[in-house]
Amino acid sequence: MTWSDPYSSRVGGEARTVPRKDPVIHDAETASRGPLDAEQLERFDREGLLELQRFFDVREMEPLRDEAERLKTATAEANAEAIVHEPESGEVRSVFAIHESSPVFARLIRQPRLLDIATQILGSDVCIHQSRINYKPAFRGREFDWHSDFETWHVEDGMPRMRALSLSICLFENNPYNGALMLVPESHRVFVSCRGRTPERHYERSLQRQEFGVPEREIVSHLVRRSGITAPTGPPGSILLFDCNTLHGSNGNITPWPRTNLFYVFNSTLNRLEAPFSGQPPRPEHIASRRFEPLAHAG
């Protein structure tokens, strides 16, 4: 961390909010040529998120669900470090770097209809910062506290600016009861600086239960009073786009219905990672890729 860091966080006892210093839609000319229409772009810019129901049809979901189940059960064949388990039950919570370990998911993210949306919003070629499957099993899926992804990526990965976005793809129905993602609209307009200092190898615990990088309750309450909470729901094949700085979290799942989502994080190739602003070594490659080759359309 240096004095010139516009998004300093976890530097001691201070918790505060500062206005965002980066655009949300990064290049007007590029944005005018992409698949999202003007109304959809305006909503993403205003709220920091955009839902697209039934983006994929039912037939397209079957091989993706099969592949997600294969990765969940084939843990012996995978990079053990890329697999995160639930803290109590031991069930698989997440599998990271799926764009590298799975040809199915590598082809998926190179589909022009997905890749062109990311390019349209970020205004440049894009690369993958992170990819994963999040499993929230029936009855035992745990909650995840409020946070801004960018705060973590800035502090722990060295992402310098807010020029990244997340794409979530529903493999199973996301409903109001099974731990759907909750987001605070318009929260992407402020950066929430958090208290504390990041422990060494924090990622080994934070991917199960985040304790550092969690905003103060008073700040979350203020943002929610201003803009409310939305919990996008939808059938399999629906997608959610959200800005890297949109505050979000999720409740646990005590229902009989599993909630499994794919997540891809697109980063601009112009937003190359630097040394982490925590002053610690970078997180492992399977969590935060430091490769910046532009993604190309699937052949």
Query: Packing angle between helix 38-47 and helix 112-122, nearest 10 degrees?
Result: 60
Asked, for residue 152, whether it belongs to a domain, the answer is: yes
How far is CA 77 from each of CA 66, 95, 168, 287, rounded to the nearest angstrom?
16, 12, 25, 18
Asked, for residue 280, whether it belongs to a domain, the answer is: no
Range of the domain at 244: 24-268
Asked, for residue 299, whether it belongs to a domain, the answer is: no
CATH code, domain with 104: 2.60.120.620
| pLDDT for 116 | 97
Average pLDDT, stretch 226-239?
96
Count CB atoms within 10 A of the CB of residue 145. 14
**Residues 6 or more apart whose Cβ sits within 8 Å of residue 134:** 93, 94, 260, 261, 263
Asked, for residue 293, whether it belongs to a domain, the answer is: no
Q: Count the domains in the chain.
A: 1
| pLDDT for 2 | 43
- The answer to whether 15 and 216 are in contact (CB under 8 A) is yes
| Segment among 90-104, 121-135, 173-187, 243-257 with least mean pLDDT | 90-104
The pLDDT tens digits of the residues spanning 23-57 come to 999 999 999 999 999 999 999 999 999 999 999 99
- Find, among 69, 192, 77, 80, the residue nearest to 135 by Cα: 69
- Residue 216 structure tokens: 């103060």
The pLDDT tens digits of the residues spanning 210-221 come to 666 899 999 999
| pLDDT for 9 | 94
Distance CA 291, CA 30 (A): 23
| Segment among 54-58, 76-80, 162-166, 201-205 with least mean pLDDT | 76-80
| pLDDT for 197 | 81
Measured between alpha carbons, how far apart are the two ends of the chain, in Å? 42
Asked, for residue 2, whether it belongs to a domain, the answer is: no
Asked, for residue 1, whether it belongs to a domain, the answer is: no
- The answer to whether 273 and 210 are in contact (CB under 8 A) is no
Asked, for residue 28, whether it belongs to a domain, the answer is: yes
| pLDDT for 206 | 52
Asked, for residue 288, whether it belongs to a domain, the answer is: no
Distance CA 244, CA 154 (A): 10
